[in-house]
Structure 1
Amino acid sequence: MSQEDQFSLDALPTTGRLIGLDLGTKTIGVAISDGLQMTATPNETIKRKKFGLDAERILELIAINACVGVVVGLPLNMDGSEGPRAQSTRAFVRNFSQKCDLPMAFWDERLSTTAVTRTMVEADISRAKQAKVVDKLAASFILQGALDRRR
């Protein structure tokens, strides 16, 4: 199995909860799907510390929610190429896959934060409140996109 196949949506189970991750430089947004994989729900925002601590918290959330797979937002450039952030995300997933044996998939996250921020601005949510929820909402947007694609 090639690395691309290993991290494609086809590698994920078709039922059971999935966890979605939006890996930022300072935070990790987390979303969880329902067991039928119809809806993604924002869960929490993890303040990044060290890889080991970040991974430990994600593993706790996987266990608490009985997740069967992981969807990770891949921050591609607008032209579809991979820059330093995408490489950093791939490195995180490589390292995390050593600690977690669940199937994992990447999902193109271009414009996810932009779309979520625009929605919050239109809803007249204050910037302070936006900052607290944007990462977990972006994770939900990423996970929902992957769920919709699979249907």
Structure 2
Amino acid sequence: MTAIPQRVLGFDYGTRQIGVAVGQTLTGNARPLRELRARDGVPDWEQIAALLREWEPDALVVGLPLNMDGTPSEMSARAQKFARRLHGRFQLPVHCIDERLSTFEAKQTLRESGRRTPASYRDNPVDSLAAALLLETWLASQTKET
């Protein structure tokens, strides 16, 4: 990690929704921004471009939903493809991070805060919170490397 504070956007990739969060290296904190609709895993690239213009990140982080034993899953292959497309379209550094259980942790965080979560995952807006959690994990790993 460089000594210059950096702003980073994190993405919790999904085939129907992609959660987005923003964080920065100075504090190592991240916060949820929003969920983007996706069609079979393909986002509206203009919405992503608008977020990049608004937040001007120095890097992007994409969560990889690995299997519990650490092996790649079909979804992690799709998330890696999404990461490659982000890099190709926007020419920013893109980092991937293991995001096992981030959505589970996001739902648990909402429950513990007293907020109800809908029974249906499709209706549950936890993707941006999951993006914030995986981004904070990545930010913490950068701090350890220095």
Q: Which runs of 5 or more residues in structure 2 are unaligned?
A: none
* Residue 136 (structure 2) pairs with residue 150 (structure 1): no
Displacement of 1:36 after TM fit? 2.4
Count of aligned pairs: 141
Number of the residue aligned with 1:87: 77
Assess, with a 3 A threshold, how the Cα gap between structure 1 residues 84 and 33 changes in structure 2: closer, same or farther.
Answer: same
What secondary structure, in the 3-state scheme, does the structure 2 residue paired with 1:47 have? Answer: strand
Match of residue 86 from structure 2: 96
> Which residue of 42, 67, 74 corresponds with 2:64?
74
Which SS does the other structure have where 1:133 is aligned? coil
Mapped pair 1:117 → 2:84: no
TM-score relative to the length of structure 2: 0.85
Identical aligned pairs, as a percentage?
32
Q: Unmatched 5+ residue regions in structure 1?
A: 1-9
Please give the alpha-carbon distance, in whole angstroms, between the structure 2 residues aligned to 1:38 and 1:55.
27
C-alpha root-mean-square deviation of aligned residues, in Å? Answer: 2.4
Give the TM-score taking structure 1 as reference length. 0.82
Higher helix share: 1
Cα deviation, residue 132, structure 1: 4.6
Q: Does the residue aligned with 2:11 lie in a helix, a strand or coil?
A: strand
CA contact (8 A) 2:15 2:42 kept: no
Is 1:140 the counterpart of 2:146 in the alignment?
A: no
4+ runs deviating over 4 angstroms:
50-53, 129-132
